[in-house]
Amino acid sequence: MLKDILSLPSRGGNRRPRIVFFHLPRTGGTALVKDVLFPNFRQSRWCHVNCGKDLKPVDDSHDPLAWSEAKRGRIRLLAGHMPFGLERHFPGPSEYVTLLRDPISRTVSDYYHCRENSTNSAHAAACSLSLTEFVERGYGLTHNCYTSLLSNAVYGAEFQTGDEMLSAARANLARFALVGITEMFDISIVRICERYHLVRFPLTASNRNDATPEGNDISSEERAVISRYNHYDQLLYEEYRTKFCTRVEPVSLSAQAMIS
């Protein structure tokens, strides 16, 4: 099915591009989607997806592949966890947007998220293992999460080497119109809203990403282990953080609590 998604031709047009928010886990995307993006569109104009590894919808998310082409064509915002290329099923031009977070902080957040979420498949492991053990055994999304998702490896794309997977992820990420940085969350929101002429609604506490306990510091050993298993993600993050920082506006940091 992944091949079917990627084999469809891209269909452009003269209308304003659809926003495709490619939600990478534990980056603050939930707050961005629910507090800023969704409120800017009527419900009939947005589609929230959460594709499992088998590409089927999970957690009662939308199943746009079961919709008519006319209904997909009316969608102005496609957001959620999805394979890269899903937008090809939606008539008209689309632009990708995402957030990247420091891979070490993201991995720590993933660990605590799994501990707190009893329905998560890695919940039992997170409750019984230390952070280091959890990462070393590859539970959750602790091994190059960005690279695996952006390259579609999570959805079945096959690569001979890790470098090949990184190249695919980098090529896909280069097609994004805007890559925000979680550690500069407010500035990222401003840039997204400016690009697409959106109203910047206030963030709410109900959508904050508070999996990581406040004041949690990891040891040098834990940091080294996480870095070892997220080398490719670190390369992507540093590259796009550098690009992002070439243009920085002074904005308040009121949203920092949303990304802990």
Predicted local distance difference test score (pLDDT) of residue 259: 42
Among 101, 78, 102, CA closest to 90:
78
pLDDT at 141: 96
pLDDT tens digits for 32-75? 999 999 999 999 999 999 999 899 999 889 999 999 999 999 99
How confident is residue 204, by pLDDT bands cut at 50, 70 and 90?
A: confident
Q: Which residues pair with 46 in a beta bridge?
A: 77
Each residue of 80-113: b (16+ CB within 10 Å) or e?
A: bbbbbbbbbbbbbebbbbbbbbbbbbbbbbbbbb
Q: Percentage of residues in the chain with pLDDT exceeding 90?
A: 80
pLDDT surpasses 50 at 202: yes
What is the spatial distance between Cα 185 and Cα 208, in angstroms, rounded to a whole number? Answer: 12
pLDDT level of residue 2 (50, 70, 90 thresholds): low
pLDDT, position 255: 41
Predicted pLDDT at 205: 77
Quote the pLDDT of residue 234.
Answer: 98
| Per-residue pLDDT reduced to its tens digit, 205-260 | 766 656 676 667 899 999 999 999 999 999 999 999 999 999 755 444 444 444 44
Average pLDDT of the chain to the nearest whole number: 90
Q: What is the CATH number of the domain that holds 181?
A: 3.40.50
**Which one is predicted more confidently, 131 or 212?**
131
pLDDT-wise least confident of 15-19, 148-152, 175-179, 236-240: 15-19
14-25 per-position pLDDT tens digit: 479 999 999 999
Helix/strand/coil percentages in the chain, nearest 5: 50, 10, 40
Structure-token match 């904050």, residue found: 208
- Determine contact, residues 25/51, Cβ cutoff 8 Å: no
pLDDT at residue 254, rounded to an integer: 41
User: Other CB atoms closer than 10 Å to residue 197's CB: what's the count?
Assistant: 8
Domain residues for 225? 2-259
User: How many independent structural domains does the chain possess?
Assistant: 1
